[in-house]
Amino acid sequence: MSLILKRLQSTVAETVIKPTHKALSPAQQAYLERVIRVDQAGELGANLIYAGQYMALSHKPELKPILKHMWDQEIHHHNTFNNLQVEHRVRPSILTPIWKVGAFGMGLATGLLGKEGAMACTEAVETVIGGHYNQQLRVLSNNYGDVEEIETGKPSVSKQVTDLQAQISEFRDEELEHLNTAVQNDSHEARPYWLITETIKLTCKAAVWTAERV
């Protein structure tokens, strides 16, 4: 019995990850939390936009695999940020119910405009989100290189930050892939194209600004 207990204890000890770096500064910590909060809300929104579009366009069999592929990727993005939120103990945006209803409604409404309307929505959303992720990557690579290593005292970037950067850049690439898919599937044929895309871009920017703060 005691042997089993010892083995269990040693397994637990092996799986606890030792911190390699000292704590982030309050400003670094606050920005990291802001990144996780807004990205979790954004990916939740993306997931629900596709849910709405998929429902509205379910009578178009040729479109379903295209939407499903992008939707599956959004579900993965959303799950990843859900896990990061738990891991870093970041509270979700308090406006989460509004993001859910708004995103599903946006997906449904643009899907009801037809394939081109849905694709114009994707083009607009991914244009904003691609830029948003690039901005976060810039801040993370410029402001997190001075955290002291516990063993050597040298400044460097901690693994939690490099992991987050890797995750964001992978997702940024997939969002830009969605943008290309939308353009290849006639997003520019939506009418009124300019009104739809500019309204959605403004809405996304306002949502990002708000979810970063509340």
- Residues forming contacts to Fe ion in the complex (CB under 5 A) are 43, 46, 74, 77, 175, 178
Q: How far is the CB of 152 from Fe ion (least distance, A)?
A: 37
Q: Is 189 labeled as ligand-binding?
A: no
Nearest residue to Fe ion on Cβ basis: 77
The annotation status of 198 as a binding-site residue, yes or no, is: no
Least CB distance from residue 174 to Fe ion, whole Å? 6
In the complex with Fe ion, the residue whose CB is nearer, 123 or 175, is 175
Q: Is 21 annotated as a binding residue?
A: no
Pick the closer one to Fe ion by CB: 24 or 204.
204
Establish whether 88 is an annotated binding residue.
no
Q: Indicate the residue among 24 and 57 with the shorter CB distance to Fe ion.
A: 57
Tell the smallest beta-carbon distance from residue 97 to Fe ion (Å). Answer: 20
User: 147 vs 212, which CB is nearer to Fe ion?
Assistant: 212
**Least distance CB 125 / Fe ion (angstroms):** 7
74 marked among binding-site residues: yes
Distant-in-sequence, close-in-space partners of 31: CB < 8 Å, separation ≥ 6: 139, 143
Residue 122's nearest CA partner among 177, 63, 60, 165 is 177
Binding residues for Fe cation: 43, 74, 77, 126, 175, 178
Binding residues: 43, 74, 77, 126, 175, 178
